[in-house]
């Protein structure tokens, strides 16, 4: 008989994935089952073990995939199978999260559990909107209130008189639909009509938007802005501090929906940089980096490293896959002790340095032609050069080095194949006009991106209003050959250079 498992009721935070607790992440990493809500960021699922079962239970306003009773039963069922269950809930599980009800069910079923608190949106959304909920010059009292109460109820469970006259800052959850009811009750019970009010939608995320006013005009302003749930409502004089403390919504790319087509294992730096500037990134990796079909040619090169004079790395992947195979075949970095090295790009050089080797040649420009130019200062006639890189890479480097008298062995260290992750979502968002920009970091990302688009739809129509940003001229040339209009080409052919070019583009446009 299987022993009973354990349940962790985990607060996932308000939306920004960076605001989950360290313990919350540990619970995800160690889970056998993850049961998650609409407001719990899907970004957390990448931390789950491969074997973990992931179950989405909805809990979106008016649209519940499962009722609360069925969610309770599901948690109990999975725990009784002897599994570790992480129940991932938006915000904090014990603040209007019905975590208390789920805990009571677990107690009744004799299932051990722990509660892992989360950052509640009631605190985080105002903070990201530049509103401190308490401030010694304004108030030291604070109340959290549900805004979801039925306005047709004869007797309200909310003491409106005490809230209106006795609390300095009020924070309402889930109250957009009932905003007229909330403002009317506060004014009717003595709160000044000119009291500042702010509504923050999708607080802490790159989709955050805010509307501000007073008790007497906020309903009209929210209606005019078309602001909808999920939103937090803040009422009180501290809202006036927003004008001087707004820090999050001033970021230059806020609200821009940008597609990142890079392979997932390499996309994190680009996604982080764009997100830090406010962009809403959609990861749609168009390529997947995999080993070659046959390790034989690379193994042969590894086994005869002592016969080479140079080794040239053209990418981070080339470095990683070369050293992976070097170690797998029983060697270590000492096998390269007499070789000189060249790298394309500072990131490639940094990756090589991570294995204890400093590159001898690092050209100023990050393309094959620049490596060729750099070698003109070296006497490589009669030298043997190993070039471990992607299958079907551009021929310019081996051709030109051979012309200079070197014997070049080009071996496949890895392959890139097409990926289709999030392809359906990508097409849907392009058709709806939700995408502002698509980024390309290599010619293969361009080719594979185009292959994801429906053949029957004209490219110009699919990309209408979409800005195309490229990491460099080679990638831009490929994009133009395939029918794309390239709006941004990085002057420095790196991820930081691409981000700088994107930022400059939007700053110029504004």
Catalytic residue annotation = 37, 59, 174
Please say whether the beta carbons of 352 and 339 come within 8 A. Answer: no
Q: What stretch of H or E contains 412? A: strand 407-418
Q: What stretch of H or E contains 234? A: strand 231-235
In angstroms, rounded to a whole number, what is the distance separating the alpha carbons of residues 341 and 3? Answer: 57
- The CA distances from residue 226 to 14, 159, 210, 217, in Å, are 22, 29, 11, 14
In angstroms, rounded to a whole number, what is the distance separating the alpha carbons of residues 67 and 212? Answer: 34
Please report how the helices 296-303 and 316-328 are oriented relative to each other, as an axis angle in degrees rounded to 10.
70
Closest CA to 9 of 45, 44, 34: 34
In angstroms, rounded to a whole number, what is the distance separating the alpha carbons of residues 84 and 171? Answer: 35
State the DSSP code for 406: -
Q: Cβ contacts of residue 328 below 8 Å, gap of 6+?
A: none
Closest CA to 19 of 113, 100, 102, 123: 123
Closest CA to 43 of 199, 174, 201, 204: 204
Classify the phi-psi angles of 463: left when phi > 0, otherwise alpha if psi is within -120 to 50, otherwise beta. alpha
């Amino acid at each position: 008989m299987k022993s009973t498992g354990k349940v962790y009721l985990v607060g996932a935070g308000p939306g920004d994935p960076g605001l989950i607790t360290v313990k919350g992440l540990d619970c995800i990493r160690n889970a056998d089952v993850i049961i998650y809500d609409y407001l719990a960021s899907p970004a957390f699922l990448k931390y789950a073990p491969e074997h973990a079962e992931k179950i989405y239970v909805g809990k979106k306003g008016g649209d519940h995939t499962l009722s609360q009773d069925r969610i309770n039963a599901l948690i109990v069922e999975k725990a009784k199978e002897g599994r570790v269950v992480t129940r991932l809930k938006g915000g904090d599980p014990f603040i209007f999260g019905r975590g208390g009800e789920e805990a009571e069910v677990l107690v009744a079923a004799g299932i051990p559990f722990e509660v892992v608190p989360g950052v509640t949106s009631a605190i985080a959304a105002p903070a990201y909107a530049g509103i401190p909920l308490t401030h010694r010059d304004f108030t030291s009292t604070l109340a959290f209130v549900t805004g979801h109460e039925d306005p047709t109820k004869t007797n309200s469970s909310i003491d409106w008189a005490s809230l209106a006259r006795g609390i300095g800052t009020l924070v309402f959850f889930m109250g957009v639909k009932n905003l007229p009811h909330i403002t009317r009750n506060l004014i009717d019970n003595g709160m000044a009509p000119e009291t500042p009010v702010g509504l923050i939608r999708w607080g802490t995320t790159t989709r955050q938007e805010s509307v501000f006013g007073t008790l007497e005009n906020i309903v009209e302003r929210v209606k005019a802005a078309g602001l909808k749930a999920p939103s937090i409502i803040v009422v009180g004089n501290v809202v006036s501090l927003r004008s001087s403390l707004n820090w999050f919504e001033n970021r230059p790319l806020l609200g821009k929906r940008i597609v990142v087509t890079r392979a997932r294992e390499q996309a994190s730096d680009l996604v982080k940089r764009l997100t830090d500037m406010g962009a809403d990134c959609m990861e749609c990796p168009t390529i997947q980096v995999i080993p070659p079909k046959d390790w034989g040619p690379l193994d042969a090169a590894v086994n005869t490293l002592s016969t080479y004079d140079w080794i040239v790395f053209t990418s981070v992947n080339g470095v990683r896959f070369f050293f992976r195979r070097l170690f797998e075949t029983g060697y270590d970095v000492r096998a390269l002790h007499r070789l000189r090295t060249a790298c394309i790009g500072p990131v490639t050089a940094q990756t090589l340095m991570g294995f204890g080797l400093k590159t001898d040649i690092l050209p100023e420009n990050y393309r094959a032609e620049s490596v060729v130019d750099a070698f003109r200062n070296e006497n490589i006639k009669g030298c043997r050069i190993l070039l471990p890189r992607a299958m079907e890479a551009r021929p310019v480097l081996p051709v030109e080095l051979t012309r200079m008298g070197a014997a070049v062995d080009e071996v496949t260290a890895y392959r890139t194949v097409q990926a289709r992750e999030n392809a359906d979502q990508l097409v849907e968002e392009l058709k709806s006009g939700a995408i502002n920009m698509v980024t390309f970091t290599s010619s293969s990302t361009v080719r594979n991106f185009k292959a994801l688009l429906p053949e029957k739809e004209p490219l110009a129509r699919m990309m209408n209003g979409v800005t195309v940003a490229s990491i460099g001229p080679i990638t831009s040339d490929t994009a133009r050959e395939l029918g794309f209009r390239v709006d941004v080409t990085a002057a420095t052919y790196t991820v930081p250079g691409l981000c700088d070019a994107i930022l400059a583009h939007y700053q110029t446009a504004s």
